[in-house]
Amino acid sequence: MKKILFLMFAIATAAFAGEEAANETLKAYSVLAAGVGLGLAALGGAIGMGHTAAATIAGTARNPGLGGKLMTTMFIALAMIEAQVIYALVIALIALYANPFLG
């Protein structure tokens, strides 16, 4: 209940403040959103990369003859996972430096 009340006060502050204070509040929320978004993207990417590496190692242990093919496929999968994290970084940088909501 306290969290909801705090959130309502935070939103009300932005709503009733002047335009300059509202811009500052929006900038602060943008920094917070960029940090949380990047943290979640990095966490998800790390978990995905860990699962990919573990599956590749298990597959190579079961059939050593396919090790080269599995490694190639793993590197392609890791590049795709990392691309998603880089996309989150680009969106975070847009939110920080070219915020479309600030006018």
Can you name the CATH fold of 24-97? F1FO ATP Synthase (1.20.20)
Residue-range domain boundaries for the chain:
24-97
> Rounded to an integer, what distance in angstroms lies between the CA atom of residue 47 and that of residue 89?
17
CB 34 within 8 A of CB 98: no
24-45 pLDDT, tens digit per residue, is 878 888 888 888 999 999 999 9
Q: Report the predicted TM-score, pTM, of the whole model to 2 decimal places.
A: 0.71
Look at the chain and count its residues.
Answer: 103
| Tokens read off for 27 | 């900038």
pLDDT digits (tens, 9 = 90+) for 55-90: 999 999 999 999 999 999 999 999 999 999 999 999
